[in-house]
Amino acid sequence: MDKEFFEHRLNINRRHFLGKMAMGVGGAALGSLLIPNLFKGSGASEDQLPLGIKHFATKAKRIIMLTQNGAPSQLESFDYKPKLNEMFGQDLPDSIRQGQRLTGMTANQKSFPLVGSKFDFKQYGKSGTWVSDLFPNIAKITDDICVIKSMHTDAINHDPALTFLQTGAQQGNRPSMGSWFSYGLGSENKNLPAFCVLLSKGSGNGQGVYSKLWSNGFLDSTHQGVQLSASEDPILYLNNPEGMDKAQRRKMLDHLAELNNLGHAEFGDPEIHSKIRQYEMAFRMQTAVPEITDLSKEPDHITKMYGADSMIPGTYASNCLLARKLSEAGVRFVQLYHQGWDQHGNLPNEMPKQALDVDKASAALITDLKQRGLLDETLVIWGGEFGRTNYCQGKLTKDNYGRDHHPRSFSIFMAGGGVKGGISYGETDEFGYNIVKNPVHIHDLQATIMHLMGLDHEKLTYKYLGRRFRLTDVHGHVVKDILA
C-alpha cells in the first residue's frame, strides 16, 4: 500500500516537473506573444483571472433566489390578460396554439376552454406595473422591481424545468447556480457557507424539491449548497457537547489538524486539506451562526413587516427573514424554495393561500434590504420554473378551474443588484400564450444574473470530462435592457 502511494507521488512529481519545463520556457515566450501586456504588470487579463475576482466591477455582491416551486400562474399574478375573461369558455384558437406540445395531462383534452383570472388586476406605482389582487404587498413595491413577462423555458415538467432553471441543464448532473457563484466569486464571509438553501412548503398542490438542485455537480464539494434545517436550530450539531468549552475544542482541532497534516505529508491527498478547512469553518460557524439566528436585535416592526409567521421556523416568512440575515452576513447565494404552486385544479381556492404565504414576506425582504442600504448589492429573484396555460385543465365551472404547465411564457420579477426598478420587460400576446416581444430564455436569465454579479457567463468555465462547462452551456445573452 505504502509503496503504491509512493510510486503515485513519484509519478505526479515527474509529470509536474516535465509540465513545468514545457510551460516555463516555451510558455513565457508564447505568452508574451499572445498577451501583449503580459510583462507590463498591473491588472491581469480577463481570461487568466484568479477565481474570486469579478470580471468587471458591478454593484451586486449577493443573490437571494426565491424559487416558487410548482410554477405559479403568471395569469393570476403579473401578466394581465383581460381578453381571456372576455373569451371565457371559448376554445383556444389553433392559430395561437400552433400545434405546440402539451403535457400528457391535457394533451388528450377534447377542448381547451380559455379562462381569465378570477382575481382583479390593478396598476401600481409610478411605473404602472400590473399586479393582481393576490399580491397586495408586492404591489406596493412595484417601483423597486423589474417584472419580466417574457420568460420561456425548454422543459414542460417540473423536475427538468426546475433543474434547468437552477443548473442550466435538465439532466441534473451539473452544478447549481449557487455553486457556480461560490466557485467563481468565493465566499464573502469565510465563517459561513457561500451557498445556503432554505425550504418551505405551502398548502397548495406541491412538487418535490431534491438535493440535486443544490448539488456542486463536478465542482469541488466545498461549493455544495448547505441546506439549513427548518427547526429551532437552522444548523444542526453546531453546539459543543456538554462539558466541552471553546478552548478545549480549539485545542482538539489543533491536534486534529496536526494529525491530518501528517497524513497529508504522507499521502498528498488534497482532500485532507479541504477537510481541515471544513473543520476550521465549522469552528468559526459556532460563533457566527448564533449571531445570525439571534432575533433579539430585530426591532419589533421587522416582525410586522415579514408577518407573524416569520417567528415560526420553517415557514416561508421565517426563511425570508433568515435569508436576509444570512445575506447581510455575506452569504453569496441564498436559495429559497417554496412548494405548493402546482394548481392543475382548484386554482381559485389554492392560489390565494399560496400568495398569502409569500406576498408579505417577499415584499418585506426587498423593503428590508432597501432600508439597510443592501438592495443595490443584493439581487432578489422571484419566480417559478415555468408558467401555466391560458386554458382550463379539467372541468371549467364559473368559479373553479385549473391550469396546466406552460413553458412558452411566464413571469418572474427581480429587484436590486443593478436591475432597473419599476419596469415591465417583454410582452406576451393577448391570449398570454406566445411571447411577442423581447423573449428571455432561462439561459438569458442566467447570463444576466451572472453579468449583474460581475461575471462573464462565457468566461466562467470548468473543465470536466474533456470539455469546458458553463452555467449557460453554449447559449445565453445578457438582457441589457433591464440593467440599471
Partner 1 sequence: MHSFLVVLLIFESQISIPFWLQPLGRMHPLILHFPIAFIVLLVVLNFLKNQMDSNSFEKINRFLVLFTAFTTVLACIMGLFLSMEGDATNLMTLHKWIGVAISFFIYGLVFIKKERVFKTVLYIGFIGVIFAGHYGAGLTHGTNFITEPLKKVKVVEITQETPIFLGFVKPILDAKCVGCHNPEKQKGELDMTSFNTMVSGGKHGALWTAGSTEESALLRRVHLPLEHKEHMPPEGKKQLTKEEIRLLSLWIKNGANENISLVQLPENDTLGLEVSKHLERKTQKKTLAYNFDFARKKDVDALKNPYRTVIQKSPSSPAIEVVIHGKQTYAPELLTDLSKIKKQIVSLNLSFLPIDKGSMEFIGTMTNLEELILNFTDLKTEDLESLKTCSNLRTLSLSGTQVDSNISDIIKVLPKLSRAFIWNTTINEEEIKVLKTTFPEIYFETGFQDSENKLTLTPPRLLSKSTVISKDDYIVLGHKMPEVEIRYTTDGTEPNDSSLLYKNPIKIDLKSKLPIKTIALKKNWLPSPVKTYKFFDKGYLPEKFELVYQGIQSEFIGEAGIILTDNNIGNSNDIRSSAYWATFNKQKPLNATAYFEESSPKIKEIVFSYGINYWQKKEPLESLEVWAGYHKDSLKLIKQVKRTYRKINKEKEGSYRSVVVKIPKAEYRFYKIIAIPFKKEKLYVDQLFFY
Of residues 110-139, those binding partner 1 (CB under 8 A): none
Residue with smaller CB distance to partner 1, 54 or 264: 54
The phi and psi torsions of 469 (rounded to 5 degrees) equal -100, 145
Whichever of 341 and 386 has its CB closer to partner 1, that residue is: 341
Amino acid at 243: G
Distance CA 102, CA 433 (A): 12
Cβ proximity to partner 1: between 70 and 432 the closer is: 70
Own/partner pairs, 459-465, CB within 8 angstroms, 24+ separation: 459/46, 459/47, 459/55, 460/55, 460/180, 460/183, 460/184, 462/175, 462/183, 462/218, 462/219, 464/218, 465/218
CB of residue 66 to partner 1, shortest distance in Å: 18
**All three cell numbers of 55:** 470580471
Q: What angle do CA 164, 141, 167 make, to 5 degrees?
A: 10
Q: Binding residue for partner 1 (CB under 8 A) from 368, 404, 444, 456? A: 368
Q: Which of residues 48-77 bind partner 1 (CB under 8 A)?
A: 49, 52-57
CA 201 from centroid of its chain's CA atoms: 17
Burial 195-216 (b: 16+ CB within 10 A, else e): bbbbbbbbebbbbebeebbbbb
| Shortest Å, Cβ 186 to partner 1 | 9
Q: How far is the CB of 133 from partner 1 (least distance, A)?
A: 19
Query: Other CB atoms closer than 10 Å to residue 143's CB: what's the count?
Result: 14
> Is residue 188 part of the contact set for partner 1 (CB under 8 A)?
yes
Site string for partner 1, 227-246 (x = CB under 8 A): -----x--------------
Identify the CA nearest to 335 among candidates 401, 383, 398.
383
Q: Which stretch binds partner 1 (CB under 8 A): 93-101, 212-220, 289-297, 465-473?
A: 289-297
104-112, 162-170, 291-299, 396-404 -> range binding partner 1 (CB under 8 A): 291-299
Choose which of 288, 445, 460, 471 interacts with partner 1 (CB under 8 A). Answer: 288
Instruction: Give the HSE-up count for residue 334: Cα atoms under 13 Å, Cβ half-sphere.
Output: 27
Q: Which three cell numbers stand for residue 318?
A: 421565517
| Closer residue to partner 1 (CB): 104 or 290 | 290
Nearer to partner 1, 301 or 463 (CB): 301
Q: Using the rule CB under 8 A, which residue among 86, 266, 291, 473 binds partner 1? A: 291
* Minimum gap (Å) between residue 206 Cβ and partner 1: 9
Under rule CB under 8 A, residue 419 binds partner 1: no
Other residues' Cβ atoms within 10 Å of the Cβ of residue 237: 8
User: For residue 119, which phi and psi values (nearest 5 degrees)?
Assistant: -110, 140
Q: Which stretch binds partner 1 (CB under 8 A): 9-17, 37-45, 268-276, 399-407?
A: 37-45
Stretch that binds partner 1, among 24-32, 282-290, 439-447, 457-465 (CB under 8 A): 282-290
Alpha carbon distance 97, 101 (integer Å) = 9
In DSSP notation, 443-480 reads HHHHHHHHHHTT--TTT--EEETTEEE-TTTT-----G
* Given 9, 122, 255, 304, the residue binding partner 1 (CB under 8 A): 304
Options 3, 110, 301, 398; binder of partner 1; rule CB under 8 A: 301
C-alpha count within 13 angstroms, C-beta hemisphere, residue 383? 32
Q: Which of 30-38, 220-228, 264-272, 299-307 is the region at the interface with partner 1 (rule: CB under 8 A)?
A: 299-307
Which residues have C-beta within 8 Å of that of residue 223, sequence separation ≥ 6? 175, 178, 179, 180, 182, 183, 194, 195, 216
**169, 329, 356, 423: which one contacts partner 1 (CB under 8 A)?**
329
The alpha-helical segments, DSSP class H, found in 152-293 are 158-167, 177-185, 246-267, 270-293
**Helices 270-293, 316-328: crossing angle, 10 deg rounding:** 110
Which of 98, 211, 261, 287 lies at the binding interface for partner 1 (CB under 8 A)?
287
Options 20, 269, 481, 484; binder of partner 1; rule CB under 8 A: 481
CB proximity list for 218: less than 8 A, separation 6 or greater: 173, 174, 175, 462, 464, 465, 469
Residue 43 CB, nearest distance to partner 1 (Å)?
Answer: 5
Q: Is 403 in the site for partner 1 (CB under 8 A)?
A: no
* Grid cell of 206 as nine digits: 406541491
Q: Choose the binding region for partner 1 from 76-84, 119-127, 302-310, 460-468 (rule: CB under 8 A).
A: 302-310
Q: Does 7 bind partner 1 (CB under 8 A)?
A: no
Q: Which x/- pattern, by CB under 8 A, does the window 430-459 give for partner 1?
A: ------------------------x-----
User: Which residues form the interface with partner 1 (CB under 8 A)?
Assistant: 42-44, 46, 49, 52-57, 188-191, 232, 280-281, 284, 287-288, 291, 295-297, 299-305, 307-309, 311-313, 318, 328-330, 364, 367-368, 370-373, 454, 480-481
